[in-house]
Structure 1
């Protein structure tokens, strides 16, 4: 009888282990995204570039430069060209270029002037150097227009993505210094002040109104929603923020998402916009090789979660069937530093 009880005990334990094993096998897997976008900003070729292998491991359909591709800060065109060339010698980035389409915009340091705008003396020459780096053909219309803005469409079996790349430098009006506080700049209510300039605004309106994409990503080098910190932001031009939000609503474009960089921090901002069927998300990803490691806080009424002050890059996983975007702030070796999901 004792042997019989021992046999039952062993049988029970075996059955229990098998059930646990079965549960492990049947664990629900995360659905494979239909389209993967990776992006980032604030990059120095002379610093360690730790993320290119990780970015490739994400199997992205696209890489978007969010500005400050290099730190040139120069009005010497040859020096600007040589600094861009250094980035092309980074082995990991060269591998990415072989495998993944690359698009993007510039910000102030690759534009050539810190916090620079429309009055930068060599902006036309700088534009051509930027377009050379991005591999834009010599006969492209972008070679003849003022500003580096562009749109790109990508279609997969599940749906379509449109990426609208803005130029927040070439036409941007002068910033107003804040002499009354510790902030660098203050907002202006001048109705003639602009971020995009008249021609680019009209172009953006057409791009959104004519879009049949399931998701429309707008790449702005500077933040749109976070406007209280006193550094560069669309918030220094509040009338332009209102204009952009109004345009997004009136266009009836589906799944509009804002991407931004510049700040040397990463964060999610989300705002409810009147008459917009979904919240507007501004995903800031910065920086790739250096970050605001001593960050101690700043106001942002639209922030979701916490500020990430470690070096990072951004990933957006798009799923067309359930109209969902998964935003991830990524660290080295595929570590997820923060994430956000939004339905559209």
Structure 2
């Protein structure tokens, strides 16, 4: 009888788990761990260095609350640089086993000591999870969720989510209840859980988790969607210069990522008078300052919509031509080396390459969609800067692999479809970005 009661107790704690756990940002001295429960519960994590569970550490404990969708963020702060750790989730004091690995890592202290380490980063956007009562009638828009299993199989160190990471529907847009429901529904997808539990996740947003399709700074619920985004992601910070938004930056080895907010300050696409902006002046100036100050080998500018494509339309930066030109000119005039753009949004993956007179070419890697709908090749827009044979009109993801000695670094970029079939691969040398 005692054994049955104990088993029932363990099952009870597992049944309280809604989604996660998820690994958020990771640095040399701390790592963020996230989890969501179904109702108020006390949660914490225990962790230990991989292969040595004799010395165990614990995070603090916290009680999840309805006001934050029963999510919790806890910090593993008894870690050392360059180590791999395993971790365990506890709900109401009972360990909750998961049928897949739970692990995180701390970044290596390589500076002034060794070459930068090799590492692997996954990139994706546009994850639509079907929810029949609230979806449009007809053929389901989402599918092929096994693409997430294929992605997780690459064991990336980091996953970059480049927007439309969930899709708010009509019943969700204008209430806190609807917004939190949609985030919870998407985050609870079974195929997503192994990826959440063993990879460090960093995210920005685009229109579909910010608000309605093509939404902009006029959206009245943007403070609530920002709150939901903050509750469900584990970025190191949100917004710059004391202003709200999802903007932030982080480093991983010798790469730095400048994660931009293309919604909170965005002028409506169709506005014809006044100053037109996608980023807002404070974010624009922060970006140029941060790029100029960076010593990273590779400097990735990540944003929801495409930047380099000359095609005017479909929410590309080209419809904000003056600001886009200012950005490209500033990169040139400041002599900023190693810039590569990352984007999503267009439900197609492709590489764009812009040749520039007297300096290195700019690349943009667009990765889309993960599970949202796709369009046939004949619908591809007239991006005449598209690198031949890189357009992929299927659900897919991108893997970036960094390697080589400090003075001869290279990033190999590859695209894979849902069944892990490689579609193309491209090597970009740091020496070619100077």
CA displacement 1:162-189 (0-9 Å, x = unmatched): 1111001111112138xxxxxxxxxx7x
Taking only aligned residues, the RMSD between alpha carbons, in angstroms, comes to: 2.1
1:287 aligns with 2:369: yes
For 1:1-344, list aligned pairs within 5 A.
Answer: 34-46=118-130, 47-48=142-143, 49-73=145-169, 74-136=173-235, 140=237, 142=239, 145-155=243-253, 160-176=254-270, 192-228=275-311, 230-276=313-359, 278-296=360-378, 297-306=380-389, 307-321=391-405, 322-344=408-430
C-alpha deviation, 1:227, in angstroms: 3.2
Aligned equivalents of 1:152 and 1:120: distance in 2? 28
Cα distance in structure 2, aligned partners of 1:282 and 1:330: 17
- In 2, the alpha carbon distance for the partners of 1:315 and 1:86 equals 26
The 3-state SS of whatever aligns with 1:333 is: coil
Report if the CA contact (8 A) 1:258-1:282 is conserved: yes
CA contact (8 A) 2:238 2:248 kept: no
Give the whole-Å Cα distance in 2 for the aligned partners of 1:191 and 1:211: 33
Residue 142 (structure 1) shift: 4.2
Secondary structure of the 1:85 match is helix
The answer to whether the Cα contact below 8 Å between 1:212 and 1:253 also exists between their aligned partners in 2 is no
Cα-to-partner distance string for 1:178-217 (whole Å, 9 max, x where unaligned): xxxxxxxxxx7x7821110011112111210111111111
Q: Which has the higher contact order (CA 8 A, sep 6+)?
A: 1
> Match of 2:377, SS?
coil
Q: Which structure 1 residue ranges, 5 or more long, are not aligned? A: 1-32, 178-187
Give the deviation of 1:105 after TM superposition: 0.7
